[in-house]
Amino acid sequence: MSETAIASRCNESSTGVETYTVRIADWRNDSQVLHAVREAVFIREQGVPAELEWDEFDAGCIHLIARDAAQKGIGTARLFPHGVIGRMAVLKEWRGKGVGATLMHCLLEEAIKRQIQQVVLHAQAHAGGFYARFGFRAVGKQFMEAGIPHVRMVLRLAGRSVDQF
Ligand SMILES: CC(C)(COP(=O)(O)OP(=O)(O)OC[C@H]1O[C@@H](n2cnc3c(N)ncnc32)[C@H](O)[C@@H]1OP(=O)(O)O)[C@@H](O)C(=O)NCCC(=O)NCCS
């Protein structure tokens, strides 16, 4: 398997009845699964144009993938080596079960491991509260990206451990 588990919490998580895993994915080998989740959430559900969803940066990013017990992809996120987080998505039927929080926890763990001092993201405005729970704070005014209102959010990681999130 091309994916690499990154931490005990990320190996296996449970919503109570449903089990899922979060692992680091390989863009080339796992791109079909990563594509399927992002296509369902961003392109079909949110109407983001396909030409904006796929960019040249994917190949250079660290990707996380959440899978259900049948190994179907249910969530994704990506981290640029310089600390930009993006493409955080959980399939609609899996939302509200902690998958997004586990993805974020694992991303922060990976960022801390790589000694990234600060992570930054463009949050869809409706999801700002999700990121704020991890300590991200909004910087600047709202702006439009892919036709959706966004806000830039930042989180300092320097000197912190993942247990603090
Ligand atoms: C945003 C998203 C990734 C959250 O994933 P999720 O799996 O539903 O989140 P979780 O179940 O792990 O939620 C963790 C906590 O954040 C809270 N939360 C989740 N979404 C939230 C939101 N939009 N605003 C405020 N709080 C939110 C939950 O209530 C939960 O709180 P709790 O720990 O007190 O129960 C998911 O809603 C999604 O994929 N949305 C569509 C794509 C999208 O908009 N992505 C964001 C791009 S910036």
Could you tell me which CATH number the domain at 8-116 has?
A: 3.40.630.30
* Domain ranges (residues) in the chain: 8-116
- Ligand 1 atom closest to the Cα of residue 89 is 39
pLDDT of residue 7: 42
- Does the beta carbon of 76 sit less than 6 angstroms from any atom of ligand 1? no
pLDDT at 163: 87
- Kindly give the distance from the C-alpha atom of residue 92 to the centroid of ligand 1, in angstroms, as a whole number: 10
Question: Which pLDDT belongs to residue 77?
Answer: 98
**Average pLDDT per 10 consecutive residues for the chain, totaling 165 residues:** 48 71 94 97 96 95 96 97 98 96 96 97 98 98 95 96 88
- pLDDT for the residue numbered 62: 97
Instruction: Please give the model's pTM, rounded to 2 decimal places.
Output: 0.93
Helix (H) or strand (E) holding 103, with range, is helix 99-113
Residue with tokens 């998580």: 13
Q: Whose CA is nearest to atom 5 of ligand 1?
A: 100
